[in-house]
Structure 1
Amino acid sequence: MKKLFAVFSIFLLISLCTGALPVWANEDTPDYQATVSTDFAVIDKTYGQFETEEYEMGNAVNNMLISVNAVKSESSLFRAYARFRYAKTGLWTRYLAFDSEYHFSAVETVSAYQLLFVVRDPMKGKTTVPDFTVQGVYIDEKLMEYTMQAPAEFEPIKIAPKPSLISRQAWVARPPKSSYTQHAVQRIVVHHSYIPNQSQYKGALSIRGIQNYHMDDPKTSWTDIGYHFLIGPEGTIYQGRPETVVGAHASPNTNAVGICLIGDYDPEKDPIPPVMEKSLVDLMAWLCSNYKVDPGVNIYGHCDYSTKSCPGLEVYKRLPQYRQKIIATIGQK
């Protein structure tokens, strides 16, 4: 624990020196959270595997995000696996394969988990797993049942144009730690950053700060920035993760595109700039028409899945207006 605190303190100091703070994007407080150190290493061998102990969780959850910090040799093939024990039946799932970030969602809760790491390396290099992080949240089972249903078909009359945005290369994003997991776009979840607020926003520097926080904080250690898109108060749209891959912004993350508005949009905080609203509506109109997402029922606020006020009450109150504007733009057959 002291080592993790020291590492995080260094991260904070570096962020302060580079002007990147504050960068505390508005993330959930998990019902279960753990950072686990391992001594798994494959050195000068062509094969190695390591199975962790079975970890019991004090709180049963039905959504989990596991991030594995694997330091791989160039020639190695690394694979992680996770399995989960259902709280009600005591039955375990099979081992489920992933690279470094796994998202588990179910209606019923789980109360334990276990990981397995496998390495194949024909060149006998060095691969280690210093640690992994686990975050778990409970979401109402009726909401999970509704969310995990296949959405009703939606056909727009026309495809809205894709708005201009700042590419990852342009805002100097770090590469992801590993490969992503593909998903089908079915929902949109709107967030606000809370911190940085509008006065603290420094353009691409703030976006890099949020990415560093998501990837380097010992409590997260995610593969990449969690959001798919971020929008500055001046209306600039930044590409985060590709929208076709699973993000890390609001469980259940699979099939959900996360859009973060930079600022604090709770009452009596930052005003909502019209130019930012236009960028948000234009972006969601393109997403809804291009991926056939029904804006009437499949645009959410983060608070629909969380006890947080995110995306801020002032933005949340305007979501019905945004939905109407999108329908007016793209139509419905």
Structure 2
Amino acid sequence: MSPPRWLLAWALLALLELGEAKEDAACCGPIVPRKEWKAQASECSQELKVPVRYVVVSHTAGSSCDTPALCQQQAQNVQHYHKQTLGFCDVGYNFLIGEDGLVYEGRGWKTKGDHTGRSWNAMSIGITFMGNYMERSPPPRAIRAAKSLLACGVAQKALIPNYEVKGHRDVQQTLSPGDRLYDIIQEWPHYRE
């Protein structure tokens, strides 16, 4: 039995940390599919009209994870909270970023999320970093994973080329994405307040 793709991707990312990975806008990095992180079935049916202009970056403010096994469990925890406690049709985010340097598929590129409120959900992709980034920053491999995901969104025509990145706090009254992560995304070329 061969190892799951996400495990191979994680091993590759660990090797790439020895040297800075070169970004290629046409090449999408590994995204852990829902099936591989054992997501519950989605009950969502509302499509997101792509390409969208906005990306909203948040943090879960919960536990962080730095291995594929821990991040799989954390993605399941977030989904369980969103479905069972909040009554959402699925995990609210389009994508979740782990400190293991992998991207976990939430609702994906084409399904409207439940991450930022009624008006923003309909016109944005919601990506969240799993963890609390008020007093500490995500590791570089998580930041690289997020940047690779954004390049992928443009390459797949889910994001317009001149998309805008917003912090969750820019569009709702919240502390998300945390002070340290907010400082980081404000330096990204597509960030707009």
* TM-score calculated relative to the size of structure 2: 0.75
Give the Cα separation in 2 of the matches to 1:279 and 1:203.
14
Shift in Å at residue 313 of structure 1? Answer: 1.7
**Paired residue for 1:195, among 62, 72, 75?**
62
Conserved? CA contact 2:168–2:176, under 8 Å: yes
What's the CA shift string for 1:244-290, capped at 9, x where partnerless? 11100002200211111111111xx2332011111011111221343
In structure 2, the gaps of 5 or more residues are: 1-23
CA separation in 2, counterparts of 1:178 and 1:320?
A: 32
For the pair 1:265 / 2:152, whether they are aligned, the reply is no
Aligned residue for 1:234?
100
The CA deviation at 1:161 is 1.2
Q: Is the 8 A contact 2:94 2:107 kept in 1?
A: yes
| 1:118-176 deviation line (CA, Å, top 9, x unaligned) | xxxxxxxxxxxxxxxxxxxxxxxxxxxxxxxxxxxxxxxx8431111110000011111
Q: Which residue of 1 aligns with 2:76?
A: 208
Of 159, 167, 170, which residue of structure 2 is paired with 1:304? 170
1:193 corresponds to which letter in structure 2? T
Q: Which whole-Å deviations, capped at 9, do the CAs of 1:3-56 have from their partners, x for residues lacking one?
A: xxxxxxxxxxxxxxxxxxxxxxxxxxxxxxxxxxxxxxxxxxxxxxxxxxxxxx
- What one-letter code is carried by the residue in structure 2 that aligns with 1:189? V
Which is greater in Rg? 1
Contact kept, 8 Å, 1:197 with 1:270, in 2: the verdict is no
1:184 aligns with 2:74: no
Q: Secondary structure at the match of 1:293?
A: strand
Residue of structure 1 in register with 2:123 after alignment: 255
Query: What does 1:1-333 correspond to in 2, within 5 Å?
Result: 159-186=25-52, 187-198=54-65, 202-217=70-85, 220-251=86-117, 252-266=120-134, 269-291=135-157, 292-295=159-162, 298-323=164-189
Structure 1 alignment gaps of length 5 or more: 1-157, 326-333
1: CA distance, partners of 2:137 / 2:27: 27
Amino acid across the alignment from 1:160: A
With structure 1 as the length reference, what TM-score do the two structures score?
0.45
Distance in 2, matches of 1:198 and 1:306, equals: 26
> Could you tell me whether the CA contact under 8 Å between 1:198 and 1:270 is conserved in 2?
no
- Relative to its length, the structure with more strand (as a share) is 1
- In 2, the alpha carbon distance for the partners of 1:159 and 1:202 equals 29
Amino acid at match of 1:303: R
Distance 2:111 2:190 in 1: 27
Report how many residues are paired.
Answer: 162
Higher relative contact order (CA 8 A, sep 6+): 2
| Superposed displacement of residue 183, structure 1 | 2.1
SS in 2 for 1:298: strand
Residues 324 and 182 of structure 1: is their aligned pair in 2 closer, same or farther, counting only changes over 3 Å? Answer: closer
Q: CA deviation at 1:305?
A: 1.0
2:57 and 2:167 in contact (8 A); partners too:
yes
**3-state DSSP class of the match of 2:76?**
helix
Q: Does structure 1 conserve the Cα–Cα contact (< 8 Å) formed by 2:48 and 2:109?
A: no
CA deviation vs aligned residue, 1:175-195 (integer Å, no higher than 9, x gap): 112533342231111111111
Task: Kindly state the Cα deviation for residue 324 of structure 1 after the two structures are TM-superposed.
Answer: 6.3
